[in-house]
Amino acid sequence: MTSNKKARPVGVNHVALEVGDIEEALKFYGEFLEFTLRSKSDTMAFIDMGDQFIALAKGRKQPRDDERHFGLVVDDKEAVRQRLDEMGIEIVSSRFLDFYDPWGNRIEIVGYQGIQFTKTPPVLNGMGLPDLGKTDAALKELADKGMAAE
C-alpha cells in the first residue's frame, strides 16, 4: 500500500559549494564575510551560519553557473556590496547583488531585514545579532502567512 503522506520542507541545513582550493576559498569568502570556521580538512571546510552552514568542497570541475545560485542572507547587504566593489568583483545582475566566486559559483546576497526568512531569538543571540530588525514589508509577508511574532 502506498502512503499519500508527504514531507514538508522546513529549511536548508547547509549549502555545499565546490571550489578549487579550500585555503583560497576561505580567504576569498573571508574578504567580505565575518565568519566562524566550524571545521576544516584538506578537502572540506565548514562556515558556520548559526543553525546552518556553508560547506566548501575541493574539486569543482563543472563550468560556471549561469542562473543556478543560492541566496546568502547577511545582516548588512550594503557592507558586502562595498567590499565586493573594493575587491573588483563584478556584480552580474542589475536587480540583485549577484556575483561569481573565483570557481564559478553564483551567489546572491540578500539582506535579512527585507525578507520573510527569520531566525529565532535564541539563534540570533547565539550569533551575536540580537537586534536585527525587519522592514514593514517583510513583517507583513510573515504576518500574512501567520508567522509574525506576537
8 within domain boundaries: no
5 within domain boundaries: no
Question: Cα(46)–Cα(111) distance, rounded to whole angstroms?
Answer: 22
1 within domain boundaries: no
132 within domain boundaries: yes
Find the CATH number of the domain harbouring 129. 3.10.180.10
pTM: 0.90
In 3D space, the residue among 5, 55, 3, 64 whose CA is nearest the CA of residue 25 turns out to be 55
Contact 96, 108 (CB under 8 A): yes
Tens-digit pLDDT string for the chain (150 aa): 788 899 888 889 999 999 999 999 999 999 999 999 999 999 999 999 999 999 999 999 999 999 999 999 999 999 999 999 999 999 999 889 999 999 999 999 999 999 998 998 899 999 999 889 899 999 999 999 998 775
Helix (H) or strand (E) holding 28: helix 22-30
114 within domain boundaries: yes
6 within domain boundaries: no
103 within domain boundaries: yes
Whole-number pLDDT of residue 131: 85
Whole-number pLDDT of residue 64: 94
- Count up the domains in the chain and report the number: 1
Range of the domain at 98: 14-144
Residue 62 is which amino acid?
Q
